[in-house]
Amino acid sequence: MLAHLLRLAGIETIVLEARTRDYCETRIRAGLMEQGSVDLMEEVGATERLHREALVHGGIYLRFNGRSHRIDIHGTTGRSMYIYGQQEIVKDLIALQLAAGGDIRFECSDVSIDGLDSDRPTLRYVDAAGDETRVTCDFVAGCDGFHGMSRPAIPESVLQTYDRQYPFAWLGILSESPPLDPELVYAHHPDGFALFTMRSNTMSRLYLQVAVDEDIANWSDDRIWSELHHRLEGEETPPLIEGPVLQKSILPMRSFMTVPMRFRRLFLAGDSAHIVPPTGAKGMNLALADVAVLARAFETFYATGSEHKLDAYSATALRRAWGAARFSWWMTSLTHVFNDRLAFDNMAQLSELHYITSSRAGAETLAEQYVGLPIER
């Protein structure tokens, strides 16, 4: 997305990607786009397939005490969410960038940065053919994820990090079966959180709260389905339709924030700077918002020579990132079982869920953050 926004502003980029194109285009990841993320896709002209295939959602269900309650997000905010897999976004953006003559280099390994103290930093890497290569540039955007080399390239003395680990994980499956409901269901259950979501009208994605050190080998498909039925079904809901499990994995839950998001000519964006638990569906949307802010800062710099937006980048991006981090932590805290169903915590969660689903103010607070606050650029 950053490369697209910069290309449209006449700024040249080179994208170094560790994986193969096929890996990027098929890896199952996030699935829910905020309206602001779709607006960015629109801005770069990448919505042709999205508008044909994405499912538009105007609300979500919160399920607790055996009943589902709808939060009318479109009705309260005028904005919607879109179901469209992250790998589909990646597929569309890669195709468009290559068709426009953009430079994406796949299968780059051993990437390192030199000269961050100078005006012309250099990236060294080994290319797909095994040759050592260098790229010298004006700026480096560290969009290389939590395990990338960008964040560790910043001296520890200038970085502050904030970490929150959760005492559980998610087990996620992709099932070839039609959705239980046309909208997402977030379920609070005494035996653990469950989430029903989807990728299409024929493909469901389901998650279960499991132990933090859970071994996937302990979860046969039968056990997974039985637990999903138990946590997601009730008298007033249609039964969950089972289908072949195409993929299953355990996802860790973590909140992690890096401050600042810039060191000299290196700018961090997305997971290289922050990780949020998936409960609020914010991770990918936050990464897209980061690069929207960063692209505008580069545009201003190249158009006017002014560095004021580059200097403001970290603070601007962090304001939004902390909002998303707090929201994701709150959604997680509201819906998961902590410490063996501590009686008081459980009752307080149920009381707050009741408040959110019965008060207009409560519902609006959830709705405007879930659908995504405007991107300040």
Residue 186 annotated to the active site: yes
Q: Which is nearer to ligand PHB, 40 or 331 (CB)?
A: 331
Looking at 6-14, 67-75, 153-161, 272-280, which segment touches ligand PHB (CB under 6 A)?
272-280
What is the number of the residue whose Cβ is closest to ligand PHB? 31
Interface with ligand PHB in residues 95-114 (CB under 6 A): none
Looking at 29-37, 214-222, 332-340, 349-357, which segment touches ligand PHB (CB under 6 A)?
29-37
Q: Which of 278, 300, 335, 356 binds ligand PHB (CB under 6 A)?
A: 278
Q: Which of 41, 208, 281, 356 binds ligand PHB (CB under 6 A)?
A: 281
Q: Using an 8 Å Cβ cutoff, are 3 and 102 in contact?
A: yes
Residue 192 makes contact with ligand PHB by CB under 6 A: no
- 3-state secondary structure string across the chain: CHHHHHHHCCCCCEEECCCCHHHHHHCCCCCEEEHHHHHHHHHCCCCHHHHHHCEEECEEEEEECCEEEEEEHHHHHCCCEEECCHHHHHHHHHHHHHHCCCEEECCCEEEEEECCCCCCCEEEEECCCCCEEEEECCCEEECCCCCCCCHHHCCHHHCEEEEEECCEEEEEEEECCCCCCCCCEEECCCCCCEEEEECCCCCEEEEEEEECCCCHHHCCHHHHHHHHHHHHCCCCCCCCCCCCEEEEEEECCEEEEEECCEECCEEECHHHCEECCHHHCCHHHHHHHHHHHHHHHHHHHHHHCCCHHHHHHHHHHHHHHHHHHHHHHHHHHHHCCCCCCCHHHHHHHHHHHHHHHHCHHHHHHHHHHHCCCCCCC
Residue 150 makes contact with ligand PHB by CB under 6 A: no
Q: What x/- string results for residues 345 through 364 when contact with ligand PHB is judged by CB under 6 A?
A: --------------------
Q: Which is nearer to ligand PHB, 113 or 184 (CB)?
A: 184
Residue 313 annotated to the active site: no
Looking at 26-34, 129-137, 145-153, 284-292, which segment touches ligand PHB (CB under 6 A)?
26-34
Q: Which of 175, 279, 285, 335 binds ligand PHB (CB under 6 A)?
A: 279
Q: How far is the CB of 85 from ligand PHB (least distance, A)?
A: 8
Q: How far is the CB of 24 from ligand PHB (least distance, A)?
A: 17
How far is 18 from 108, CA to CA, in rounded Å? Answer: 5
Q: Which is nearer to ligand PHB, 186 or 298 (CB)?
A: 186
Q: Which is nearer to ligand PHB, 150 or 328 (CB)?
A: 328
Q: Which of 188, 189, 205, 336 binds ligand PHB (CB under 6 A)?
A: 205
Looking at 24-32, 160-168, 175-183, 310-318, which segment touches ligand PHB (CB under 6 A)?
24-32
Q: Which is nearer to ligand PHB, 97 or 197 (CB)?
A: 197
How far is 185 from 53, CA to CA, in rounded Å? Answer: 21
Residue 162 annotated to the active site: no
Residue 278 annotated to the active site: yes
Of 121, 179, 277, 278, which residue is the catalytic one?
278
Residue 32 makes contact with ligand PHB by CB under 6 A: yes
Give the interface size with ligand PHB as a residue count (CB under 6 A). 10
Exposure b/e, 275-312, CB count within 10 A at least 16 = b: bbbbbbbbbbbbbbbbbbbbbbbbbbbeeeeeeebbee
Residue 253 makes contact with ligand PHB by CB under 6 A: no
Residues that bind ligand PHB (CB under 6 A): 30-32, 184, 197, 205, 278-281
